[in-house]
């Protein structure tokens, strides 16, 4: 597998979709697929698919196409999904609980080790047998348990402070659901997830479709 220093974020964001479709093809017993067949299935052009995959090396064979199983495992390795990650959730409200439940039922190598909360009414509860712990102890816990990822489900005002503590404690990445973009040191990866932005985009597309139908 060839690795380059600079791969565009747009390419990286398409890889999970490739993997998801390949996973379904594996379940159906499909052994190989051409870029044209994959294009029809996934909605990207065949040229786009080939360009994306060529960033990481040549996975296809002329006249054969791609091995579904082989490409699935290659993309899994590129995304780092061939290993496990230990995670903590900060914020045991509705969103935090939903994420804990999601990772519990869709086990894929991302393991929630603990949940942290400032509300004393929630501390001590168990969500899918994972204890809600006092936020005061988060740095010590992350350091001692070598946590890889911190998931932030707090208010906007608390998010940056939580991020700073998690980065200080040694996490490698943050998955931020607070409605604010947070800053991290260069060595800590960050993915800011804005649920309302996605909802607003949906509203635009709904209205755009309606406007198009009026013409």
Phi, psi of 190 (to 5 degrees): -135, 135
43-50 LR contacts (CB < 8 Å, sep 24+): 44/14, 49/18
Handedness of CA 176, 178, 181, 184 (dihedral sign): negative
Show binding-site residues for NAD(+): 91-96
One DSSP character per residue, 95-153 reads HHHHHHHHHHHT-SSEEEEEEEES-TTTTT-EETTEEEEEGGGHHHHHHHHT--EEEE-
Residues in the chain, total: 215
Cα torsion angle, 60, 72, 82, 187, sign: positive
- Decide if 156 contacts 177 (C-beta within 8 A): no
Answer positive or negative: Cα dihedral of 126, 127, 129, 132.
negative
Strand arrangement, sheet containing 85-90: 126-127, 130-134, 110-117, 85-90, 149-152, 173-176, 189-192
Residue ranges of the annotated binding site are 91-96
Sign of CA dihedral 110, 201, 186, 49: positive
């Amino acid at each position: 597998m060839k690795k380059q220093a600079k791969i565009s974020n747009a390419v990286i964001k398409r890889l999970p979709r490739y993997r998801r479709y390949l996973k379904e093809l594996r379940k159906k017993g499909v052994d190989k697929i051409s870029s044209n067949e994959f294009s029809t299935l996934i909605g990207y052009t065949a040229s786009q698919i080939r360009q994306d995959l060529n960033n990481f090396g040549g996975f296809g064979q002329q006249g054969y196409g791609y091995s579904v199983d082989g490409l699935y495992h290659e993309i899994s390795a590129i995304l780092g999904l061939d290993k496990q990650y230990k995670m903590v959730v900060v914020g045991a409200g509705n969103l935090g609980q939903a994420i804990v439940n999601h990772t519990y039922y869709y086990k894929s190598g991302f393991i929630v080790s603990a949940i942290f909360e400032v509300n004393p009414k929630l501390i001590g509860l168990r969500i899918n047998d994972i204890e809600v712990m006092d936020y005061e102890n988060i740095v010590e816990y992350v350091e001692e348990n070598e946590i890889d990822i911190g998931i932030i489900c707090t208010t906007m005002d608390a998010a940056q402070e939580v991020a700073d503590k998690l980065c200080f404690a040694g996490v490698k990445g943050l998955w931020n659901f607070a409605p604010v973009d947070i800053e991290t040191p260069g060595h800590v990866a960050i993915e800011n997830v804005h649920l309302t932005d996605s909802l607003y985009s949906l509203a635009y597309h709904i209205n755009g479709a309606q406007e198009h139908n009026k013409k």
